[in-house]
Amino acid sequence: METLAIPLPANLPPDVCTEITKRACYCDTAIVKSRYRQDSNCLEIDLQGPGAGGDVAAKLEHLIGKMQVERLTVTPKILRERSSESGRFSAKAYDELVEQGDVWASGQGTMGRSGAFTGLLNRLDGLLERLAAREFQAVSQSYNSLVPSDWLRRAGYFASFSHSVTFAVHLKEDLEAIERFGQRHRQGENPVFEDVGEIAPPEYCLSPAVCYHTYGALMGQSLPAGTASAFTAHGRCFRYESKNLTGLDRLWEFSMREIVWLGARDAVLAARERAINVVWRLVELLDLSARLETACDPFFASDFPSLRFFQLANDLKYELKVDTSPDVSIACASFNYHERFFGTRFEIGAGDGEPAHTGCTAFGLERLLYACVCQHGLKRTMELVENAAERM
């Protein structure tokens, strides 16, 4: 194992250093793990195999150059914050869930779920669906895990989030190619492709977020003027995060509940603000150490500095970050305003001749529940979730 230490530019905001650390894993297959060392202001990289250090270092320096924010120095701001009354954390929360058979790793970034953990996921999701209907009269919908590639293209996903897309592919319709592929795997070998030409261009991807289905379903339609139409859905979502995939706090496949609003600007913004207040009440009932802060999406490399500045400066994205230990937190929900971006890209009208404004709030269910268990343990979490379901 070889370890590299790559200096980071001075005065980079901490959130930028964290994002660079996450993106570092995509630079080379030799990278096993990346860490940000705040005391020495460097990126520390573990490598497998000898002799790769020079090439990897050059790639990392190129990445840092693309992501540094020299003049765009806006930083996230905390809007709300609270501490748990219990003040306790379990360092073995994940291990205990595994030992009890509530979760098990089935592969990189994938988890099986059972028992009390599954019951709590369903209870929590049911509560959020009920709140969406009560507070926003949201229409409940059900979507596929497959999302048309064209919808992600319209949304700009391939340009800004190319590192995390998961393509759904199949062999091209070609008799000889299909037979050759089958012959190569007669003995149960792992999939091997002779060249990319064996695979048909992907018409679908695995959905990275629920809201793309909402925009696609409404494409070309005009909504009632002066208000915000609301929809809600639960879905399995997929975001590849390379070596950053760990435990329940960062999964490749995870459960998401979303509430989506489309329509007039003021109505969409008012709905987002109401969602923040409702969810903060849930945070209080779950007695969580958490904070609400401005944030940006995980754009890759070249897009990162300008889009980070745009989102932070205009308060377009808020994240609910919940502590899993005294010095670690994870984003468990987000509250987003997209202006007319999706209304324009998907040709959705606001009823006044203009593209619709859109917004959404999204919950990573496994993350939220895992953070609860880290703070309270499984038994107490069951009591708190039940209490919240009764009181909200």
Q: Are 330 and 81 in contact (CB under 8 A)?
A: no
Q: What is the pLDDT of residues 250-264, one digit of tens each?
A: 999 999 999 999 999
Q: What pLDDT score was predicted for residue 37? A: 92
| Separation of alpha carbons 2 and 30, rounded Å | 10
pLDDT of the residue at 146: 98
Low-confidence ranges of the chain (pLDDT < 70): 50-53, 70-72
**pLDDT value at position 282?**
98
Burial degree of 370 (CB within 10 A; 0-12, 13-18, 19+): buried
Percent helix, percent strand, percent coil in the chain, to nearest 5: 40, 25, 35
Please report the pLDDT score of residue 183 as a whole number.
92
pLDDT, residue 52, reads 67
| Helix 115-136 / helix 365-391 crossing angle, nearest 10 deg | 60
In contact, 247 and 92? CB cutoff 8 Å: no
> Which residues 6+ apart lie within 8 Å of 97 measured at CB?
103, 117, 248, 373, 378
pTM: 0.93
Nearest to 47 by CA among 27, 67, 65, 22: 27
Distance CA 191, CA 181 (A): 9
From 293, 284, 234, select the one nearest 392 (Cα to Cα): 284
